[in-house]
């Protein structure tokens, strides 16, 4: 495997560029048996995940990544943590955090776990 930093940065750039321009195009990034936790709601499998992402109630979105961290896992995968901001339609800017576990399958890495949370302050 190349440097975790190189692979992680490439993944993050590709993921958010695709999310911002063609959410349905994310399907090939999710592996067999993938799971998404989106604001606490769990989705299992590539089809359910892409259906959730494409049904989100906004027309336009732009992600701005503030920082990210990458760690190799004992099974040859990659753990990716992202912190940033997003702007959807005319909504105010919101902070977000997202954690990915990229599982090694053959010669490739696929999203096996994806956990997304907006950084909202509830009282």
Domain ranges of the chain: 4-118
pLDDT digits (tens, 9 = 90+) for 15-25: 999 999 999 99
Mean pLDDT for the stretch of residues 27-45 = 95
CATH tag for 4-118 (out of 3.30.70.3340, 3.40.50.1820, 3.10.450.50, 3.30.70.3270): 3.10.450.50
What is the value of pTM for the model shown?
A: 0.93
- CA 86 centroid distance within chain: 13
- Average confidence score pLDDT of the chain: 94
Q: How far apart are CA 72 and CA 116, in angstroms?
A: 20
Residue 9: half-sphere exposure toward Cβ, Cα within 13 Å: 5
């Amino acid at each position: 495997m190349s440097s975790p930093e190189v692979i992680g940065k490439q993944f993050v750039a590709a993921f958010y560029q695709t999310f911002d321009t063609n959410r349905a195009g994310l399907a090939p990034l999710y592996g067999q048996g993938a799971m998404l936790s989106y604001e606490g709601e769990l989705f299992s499998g590539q089809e359910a995940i892409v259906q959730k992402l494409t049904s989100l109630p906004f027309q336009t979105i732009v992600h701005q990544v503030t920082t990210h961290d990458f760690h190799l896992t004992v099974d040859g995968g990659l753990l990716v943590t992202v912190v940033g901001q997003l702007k959807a339609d005319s909504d105010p800017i919101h902070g977000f955090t997202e954690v990915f576990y990229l599982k090694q399958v053959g010669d490739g890495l696929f999203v096996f776990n994806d956990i997304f949370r907006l950084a909202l302050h509830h009282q």
